[in-house]
Amino acid sequence: MDGQIKKLAKQAMAARGHAYCPYSSHPVGVAIVSQSGKVYAGANVEIAHYKGVCAEASAISAMITAGERHIRAVVVAGPSMEYLCTPCGDCRQRLREFCAPDVRIYSLWKDGSLGAVHTMADLLPLSFGPENLQEVGALPKTQPKAGAAATGGKQKKERVKNTPEKQNKKNKKDVSPGSLRRRNPRPS
């Protein structure tokens, strides 16, 4: 491991030491380095209703709270010497939101030694990301501009032919209590 990854490994292991996992006894710590070079650490937090927070989500939240949006590297410190801890499916998708496909994710053994290195593309192939959606905050191209400001102070009225309200009036049936009685009463 190079110097920066060793430093991240120490921070991920320190975060793992602060994990709150009384139900699974599976402490995980994560350290991510942002585009600016700042490191954000996170630990998993479990609560009684089982909707806990993964270490990756915790670290990403810290990064977002600090105003950053891009991840350069991720180090995951798991609790075992028998199996490597990689991000779960939810966290892979969370990481994908802020990682380029070539960002490396380092998985550590319990003792801090390097177990594996994967890229984001390795862990989440054929992924779905922000580029699959329209630009955030953009109005759909088919939606007209609204309000007086969009028309230079002149409000233009548009006639709408078939609104749901008009359709309901057209198809409205009489549901008054009298109309709910049988139309053809039984013969006596």
Q: Given 46, 56, 68, 165, which residue is catalytic?
A: 56
Task: Assess contact for 95 and 73: CB atoms under 8 A.
Answer: no
CATH of domain 3-132: 3.40.140.10
In angstroms, the CA 186 to CA 58 distance is: 69
pLDDT value at residue 79: 96
The residue ranges of every structural domain in the chain are 3-132, 149-173
pLDDT value at residue 131: 84
Tokens 């709270």 appear where? Answer: 65
Length of the chain: 188
In angstroms, the CA 111 to CA 1 distance is: 14
In angstroms, the CA 162 to CA 29 distance is: 56
Q: Which residues, in sequence order, are bridge partners of residue 63?
A: none
pTM: 0.70
User: Which stretches of the chain score pLDDT less than 50?
Assistant: 143-157, 160, 179-180, 182
- Token pair listed for 64: 């977002």
Q: Which of 16, 107, 8 is nearest to 55 (CA)?
A: 16
- Token pair listed for 101: 């496909």
pLDDT value at residue 136: 57
pLDDT value at residue 143: 43
Query: How many CB atoms lie under 10 A from the CB of residue 54?
Result: 21
Amino acid letter, 99: C
pLDDT value at residue 130: 86
- Token pair listed for 95: 């990481």
> What is the bridge-based pairing of β-strands 29-34 and 39-43?
antiparallel
**Catalytic-residue membership of 46:** no
Residue 171: helix, strand or coil by DSSP? helix
